[in-house]
Amino acid sequence: MREKAEARFMGRFEKVPKRLVAQIALEKLTLLGDEGDQIIAAMLTGLTQMTLRDASENAKSVI
């Protein structure tokens, strides 16, 4: 994914931000239809079940 993001945003950043890499990953998952939706749901379920000991309260509240 990072390589695709770097190709798309080449020259705009020294290193492509993670948010843009994530954007490309989500775009690809949406192309998978229902299967992509299931993958995204599984990722979100995993995030909500993590402990996140070192995360700030703000970060925890977002998740």
Give residue limits of the domains in the chain: 2-62
Alpha helices, H only, the chain: 2-8, 18-31, 34-49, 57-62
Residue 61: predicted pLDDT? 86
For 4-62, write each residue's pLDDT tens digit.
887 888 788 888 888 999 999 999 999 999 999 999 999 999 988 988 889 999 988 88
- Global pTM reads 0.66
Residue 16: predicted pLDDT? 86
Phi, psi (degrees; rounded to nearest 5) at 46 = -60, -45
Residue 41: predicted pLDDT? 96
Residue 35: predicted pLDDT? 97
Torsion over CA of 35, 36, 41 and 43, rounded to 10 degrees? Answer: 120
Q: Which residues contact 3 (CB under 8 A, 6 or more apart)?
A: none
